[in-house]
A and B are shown apart, each in its own frame.
Chain A
Amino acid sequence: MKPVDPTRRQFLAAAGGAVSILTLAPGVLLLAPAHGRAPDQPVTGKVRWGLLIDTTKCAAGCADCVAACNRENGLSGGTRPTDPQWIRKVELKDRRPGRQASLPMMCQHCAQPPCVDVCPTGASFKRADGIVLVDKHICIGCRYCMMACPYKARSLVHEPVTGQSPDVPRGKGTVESCTFCVQRVDRGETPACVEACAAARHGAMVFGDLNDPASEIARRLAAYPSTRVRADLALDPGVRYQGI
């Protein structure tokens, strides 16, 4: 046998390193959501990922979360009607007294997602940990999920895509939406938008495990009132808003 090529050794070491970071570095685990899952173990329903958005801390002109999402997931950032937008800033103005608010809107990762119900092939699905995704391998591009989503969270890729991120495959003719940055969550990190919001010192977004009473998101939801968008539909979204 030839000696192991150094590049290959590094590749394997990097693979092993991912495990050790997760298991050996408690600091990382404290900062990141502790899903406590080995990389070769499937996700389970013990965890339900959720996102809390405090609209009182969300600044009207700020779109750092949108820019971070586009960067992480390889979106162009274009805003033509045909451009995909996984997250968008919605500006609100109360019709009567005129109070204004600003908030990010994205896939609400419902527990009862209409997009999953209507998908003919099962491409639109909910992972055991509550993240709603599109399996683009079996998406036929019928767009019924886009018709069904109450949040307008989904986009069809209208044009050929090049230069995708290795972690985020995207292609023409399939439907896509916010994944909670599932590739980051599986590494034990928070979604890119949450990280960017914290980096901008707004701290308007808290990501975590809704099922873990000790998590920050669960504690904040227990302590303060929050709103589910389109609560009348009883979809049990994983994204909650405060201050509206």
Chain B
Amino acid sequence: MGIALHAIEGRSPGYWGLLGALGALTALGLAGAWYMEHHGHVVTGMTNQIVWGVPHVFAVFLIVAASGALNVASIASVFGRTFYKPLAPLSGLLAIALLAGGLMVLVLDLGRADRLVVAMTHFNFKSIFAWNIFLYTGFFALVAVYLWAMLERRMNRYAAAVGFGAFVWRLVLTTGTGSIFGFLVARAAYDSALLAPLFIALSFSYGLAAFLIVLLAAYGWTGRELGAAVLARLKNLQIVFVAAALYFVAVYHLTNLYLAKQGAYVRFILVDGGVYPLAFWGGQVLLGSLVPMALLAHPRLGATRGAIAVAATLVVLGGLAQMFVTIVGGQAFPLELFPGFAESSTFFDGEAHRYVPSAPELALGVAGIAVAGILVALAVKLVAFLPARLGDPLADSA
């Protein structure tokens, strides 16, 4: 390898300020989780109609982004593009950090978070949730071994094989995450095999966006050299991934449009469902997809770091909007028990369900991102993850 990896110094006020800010956000989130645990879910905006709320929006986003963050490493190891090789360790690190943040949110939102040990000792193997427990823990283990293989010289010869295993595993993992919703036969918004490939496309996009943000921050703040060619390749990849995600979203809605029984749901989520069409068109499509694609594709703007950072941040925010539309919007549309009948009851049958997230659950969700940030910030200080210089000639010759 022509490129040396070096730990960052991590002693500047900016570094401690970053850690302090992320730590404060984490503390807020943990306080929110404790508050929810103590009083019950009555202090959240979640109800018996909207059973999964903002914590799941963040958790699923982070888990999907985690598998995608591994892509840069996969491109290097699996597809043999040595250009990406110096970036592979950071990619693996980010994958672990994002998954840890997402799982923390998911677990702390449980009605009985104190019973985590039960979830680890009782399994119903017909449940995709139970499979996911193994997929997530396996992902941690596999990526950890992968990192070891990449960072330890004597282990380097196994890196390609382990990397291939991790790549396959991450595809299965995202299929599992998408299937959490895809297997819900009862609800109009889910019950679609398309959700598995859709989530894989989303993971490519979210994961790369998270990677770009971390890369730009790490190199910008430490003053290390980051070549324009490296960024140009990554941002072009980001355009392709956003477009792929948008394609699957379009196919998902178009198939639904074709089915008469799905008509009411499509109208709800795309036209008259209030905040959900707004989050879809304004957040997911415009700000989360079209604007970043335009920014990145722009001949002049697309070459600037500021524009790339803004575009990647928009992809992340658009991703959160998309998860909100998918998870909360999907539940807000009422279950139809008696087609052809208008339904009403004390349990809110036949009406769109309201959801207003409370501060503790928002704090918990944000804490998932903060924890991922802390893990990355600490790891790059303690372990040599980042190439000392990533200038173009070096990256090209590597």
Q: Which residues between 27 and 52 of chain B lie within 8 Å of chain A, taking CB atoms? A: 37, 39-42, 47-49, 51-52
Contact of B133 among A90, A118, A120, A147 (CB under 8 A): A120
Chain B residues whose C-beta falls within 8 Å of the C-beta of A89 in the assembled complex: 345-346
Give the shortest distance, in Å, between B94 (CB) and chain A (any CB).
27
User: Can you report 26 residue pairs joining A to B where beta carbons are below 8 Å apart?
Assistant: A84-B48, A88-B347, A90-B343, A92-B338, A92-B343, A95-B342, A114-B185, A114-B186, A118-B126, A121-B118, A122-B123, A140-B115, A146-B51, A147-B51, A147-B52, A147-B331, A150-B187, A150-B335, A151-B337, A152-B49, A152-B349, A154-B48, A173-B110, A173-B111, A173-B112, A174-B111
Q: Is B186 touching A148 in the complex (CB atoms < 8 A)?
A: yes
Give the nearest-CB partner of A79 in chain B. Answer: B346
Q: Is A118 touching B122 in the complex (CB atoms < 8 A)?
A: no
Q: Is B110 touching A142 in the complex (CB atoms < 8 A)?
A: yes
Report the count of interface residues on B (CB-CB < 8 A): 49
A interface, size bucket: 35 or more
Complex Cα–Cα for A114 and B243 (A): 35
Complex Cα–Cα for A175 and B41 (A): 12
Chain A residues whose C-beta falls within 8 Å of the C-beta of B126 in the assembled complex: 116-118
Chain B residues whose C-beta falls within 8 Å of the C-beta of A105 in the assembled complex: 337, 345, 347, 349
Chain B residues whose C-beta falls within 8 Å of the C-beta of A149 in the assembled complex: 186
Give the shortest distance, in Å, between A113 (CB) and chain B (any CB).
11
Complex Cα–Cα for A62 and B155 (A): 73
Chain A residues whose C-beta falls within 8 Å of the C-beta of B337 in the assembled complex: 90, 105, 150-152, 229-230
Chain B residues whose C-beta falls within 8 Å of the C-beta of A93 in the assembled complex: 341-342
Chain A residues whose C-beta falls within 8 Å of the C-beta of B110 in the assembled complex: 140-142, 173
For B110, B183, B186, B331, the residue with the greatest tally of chain A CB atoms inside 10 Å of its CB is: B186
Q: Is B48 touching A140 in the complex (CB atoms < 8 A)?
A: no
Q: Is B116 touching A140 in the complex (CB atoms < 8 A)?
A: yes
Q: Is A144 touching B129 in the complex (CB atoms < 8 A)?
A: yes
10 A-B pairs with least C-beta separation: A141-B111, A173-B111, A150-B186, A81-B47, A120-B129, A122-B124, A158-B42, A121-B122, A143-B51, A79-B346
Q: Is B349 touching A88 in the complex (CB atoms < 8 A)?
A: yes
B6 within 8 A of A: no
Residues of B within 8 A of A (CB): 37, 39-42, 47-49, 51-52, 110-113, 115-116, 118-119, 122-124, 126-130, 133, 180, 183-187, 331, 335, 337-338, 340-349, 353-354
Q: Which residues between 178 and 235 of chain A lie within 8 Å of chain B, taking CB atoms? A: 229-230, 233
Q: Is A138 touching B52 in the complex (CB atoms < 8 A)?
A: no
Q: Is A90 touching B344 in the complex (CB atoms < 8 A)?
A: yes
Q: Is B52 touching A143 in the complex (CB atoms < 8 A)?
A: yes
A159/B42 contact (C-beta < 8 A), A81-B48, A120-B133 known: yes
Q: Which residues between 142 and 172 of chain A lie within 8 Å of chain B, taking CB atoms? A: 142-144, 146-152, 154-160, 172
Complex Cα–Cα for A244 and B337 (A): 12
Contact of B183 among A101, A118, A119 (CB under 8 A): A118
Complex Cα–Cα for A91 and B348 (A): 11
Chain A residues whose C-beta falls within 8 Å of the C-beta of B47 in the assembled complex: 81-82, 158
Complex Cα–Cα for A225 and B130 (A): 40
Complex Cα–Cα for A155 and B347 (A): 10
Complex Cα–Cα for A196 and B374 (A): 59
Chain B residues whose C-beta falls within 8 Å of the C-beta of A159 in the assembled complex: 39-40, 42
Q: Is B184 touching A119 in the complex (CB atoms < 8 A)?
A: no
A85 within 8 A of B: yes
Give the shortest distance, in Å, between A155 (CB) and chain B (any CB).
5
Chain A residues whose C-beta falls within 8 Å of the C-beta of B115 in the assembled complex: 138-141
A96 within 8 A of B: yes
For A152, A155, A233, the residue with the greatest tally of chain B CB atoms inside 10 Å of its CB is: A152
